[in-house]
Amino acid sequence: MKSNFLFPHHFKRIGWVLFILGVIVGVFYIAKESDLEFLDVTVFSIAEQSLMGDTSYFSFLKNNIHDEITCLLLIIGAMLIVFSKEKSEDEFISKIRLESLAWATYVNYSILIISILFIYEMTFFMILLFNMFTVLIFFIIRFNWALSKTKKQLRDEE
């Protein structure tokens, strides 16, 4: 089966490196009370709203980019993992891939619905932040679990 939308298999390794680095940087970001000063840079902003409510468009501002680096590492790494071919990509793996994507989407939005109903204020905002990554993470977990389960069944049959 030809999959034009998947990256070559070797991108998966790059994805794992970026993803693990993103997790390490993210844990450091959450655990650290203050931002790393050397990451304070001037950045271009399409839109920015200050605490006083003033909004500026298409401007430059001083910002610490620790959180942006963390998010980019996690998202790009996870996308490379999720959208890279397996060594032997066939119709069965495509079926597992599709089922895993559906399952991850159901789980992700079920958690989001429960959060909308029962969690409020800044805790809800934190859940929304993590929600950027969870559909990819749920897919990685489900897809790899299904692949390993299938490989184990094949070994047991032999």
For 100-141, how does the pLDDT look when each residue is reduced to its tens digit (9 = 90+)?
999 999 999 999 999 999 999 999 999 999 999 999 999 999
- Please tell me whether residues 130 and 105 are part of one structural domain: yes
Residue type, 4: N
Domain of residue 81 covers: 1-86
- The more confidently predicted of residues 35 and 3 is 35
pLDDT above 70 (res 1): no
Whole-angstrom CA distances from 24 to 1, 55, 73, 157, 158 are: 36, 33, 10, 40, 40
- Which of 38, 54, 86 is the C-terminal boundary of a domain? 86
pLDDT above 60 (res 52): yes
d(CA 118, CA 50): 29
Nearest to 78 by CA among 7, 150, 2, 1: 7
Tokens 């271009």: give the residue: 44
Residue-wise pLDDT tens digits, 63-108: 989 989 999 999 999 999 999 999 988 899 999 999 999 999 999 9
Helix or strand holding residue 154 (H, E): helix 121-157
Rounded (5°) CA angle 6-1-74: 20
- Please tell me whether residues 75 and 110 are part of one structural domain: no
